[in-house]
């Protein structure tokens, strides 16, 4: 699979990093009823999840830096666009396995949970991203209400435009506005996390303050994921 190149978010797999194959694994939820007569009745409850996995080798003097790039994407926990050939999937990194032979030869296996594909029929009807553009933008703004992050008018308009998918390619200005808001949210998440880890010796923080900080951080992470989902979907569903 070295041609065409496989990409995950902003990361492009090159050389030995490029997998020979990508495994897509899905699961169907089934409810099996065992009847007194000895027969069974099976109900299909729809698709449970889908996993995309692949493997390769990080090699050379740049291997540690390349690995850190994937680790950064994994730690963010946000949706990423996984593309190869004609396929485009929105995924979240689920597992990243490394086998160290040396610092310059590190076989890896990467497993991703699929949250979005470029096949409209694969979009679950209950997904928040299937709501109207105004509802999607309003959902993010509501989450940001009790935080230190406020979206500007331009950023709000950009969210609505990207969520509407009424274009051939994502408008660059809207993508930039959405990215700036995403960066603000990420900075605030880091600041909130740092604040929750500091405190004077012998002066425990009030329990209410700890709970409030934890709640704000969870809200920011949810807003981050919703916003990243909109931007990923804008790119994913408009692949040629």
Structure tokens at 68: 């850190």
Asked if the model's pLDDT at residue 119 lies above 60, the reply is no
- Residue 169: pLDDT band with limits 50, 70, 90: confident
DSSP annotation string for 123-139: S-TT-GGGS-HHHHHHH
Summarised one tens digit per residue, pLDDT across range 184-234 is 988 888 887 777 665 544 555 554 555 556 677 777 887 888 888 787 777
Q: Are 91 and 80 in contact (CB under 8 A)?
A: yes
Nearest-angstrom CA–CA distance, 79 and 116: 9
The residue written with tokens 């998440």 in the block is: 189
Nearest-angstrom CA–CA distance, 53 and 45: 24
Strand residues in the chain grouped as ranges (E)? 7-8, 11-12, 23-34, 40-59, 80-84, 87-98, 105-117
Average pLDDT along the chain: 78
> Could you give the C-alpha distances from 221 to 40, 225, 238, in angstroms and in order?
44, 6, 26
- Residue 167: pLDDT band with limits 50, 70, 90: confident
Compute the average pLDDT of residues 131-145: 81
Measured N-to-C along each axis, helices 153-164 and 133-144 cross at an angle, to the nearest 10 degrees, of: 140
Summarised one tens digit per residue, pLDDT across range 46-55 is 666 688 999 9
Residue % of the chain over a pLDDT of 70: 75
Q: Which of 27-36, 53-62, 87-96, 138-147 has the lowest mean pLDDT?
A: 27-36
DSSP-derived 3-state class of residue 107: strand
Nearest-angstrom CA–CA distance, 114 and 82: 9
**Order of strands across the sheet that contains 87-98:** 11-12, 7-8, 80-84, 87-98, 105-117, 40-59, 23-34
Higher-pLDDT residue of 34 and 70 is: 70
In this prediction the pTM is 0.46
Q: Are 55 and 110 in contact (CB under 8 A)?
A: yes
Q: Are 84 and 20 in contact (CB under 8 A)?
A: no
pLDDT for 102: 92
CATH class of 7-122: mainly beta
Range(s) within the chain of domains with CATH label 2.40.30.200: 7-122
């Amino acid at each position: 699979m070295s041609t065409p190149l496989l990409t995950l978010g902003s990361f492009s797999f090159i050389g030995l990093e490029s997998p020979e194959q990508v495994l897509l694994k899905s699961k169907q939820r089934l409810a099996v009823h065992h009847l007194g007569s000895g027969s069974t009745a099976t109900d299909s409850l729809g698709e449970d999840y889908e996993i995309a996995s692949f493997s390769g080798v990080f090699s050379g003097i740049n291997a540690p830096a390349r690995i850190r790039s994937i680790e950064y994407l994994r730690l963010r926990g946000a949706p990423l666009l996984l593309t190869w050939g004609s396929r485009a999937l929105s995924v979240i990194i689920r597992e990243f396995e490394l086998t160290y032979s040396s610092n310059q030869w590190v076989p890896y296996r990467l497993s991703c949970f699929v949250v979005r594909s470029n096949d409209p029929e694969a979009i679950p009807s209950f997904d928040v991203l299937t709501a109207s553009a105004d509802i999607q933008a309003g959902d993010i703004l509501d989450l940001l209400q009790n935080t230190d992050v406020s979206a500007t008018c331009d950023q709000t308009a950009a969210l609505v435009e990207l969520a509407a998918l009424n274009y051939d390619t994502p408008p660059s200005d809207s993508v930039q506005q959405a990215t700036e808001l995403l960066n603000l949210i990420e900075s605030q998440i880091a600041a909130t996390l740092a604040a929750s880890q500091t405190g004077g010796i012998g002066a425990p923080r009030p329990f209410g303050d700890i709970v409030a900080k934890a709640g704000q951080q969870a809200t920011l992470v949810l807003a981050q994921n919703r916003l990243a989902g909109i931007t990923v979907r804008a790119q994913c569903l408009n692949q040629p």
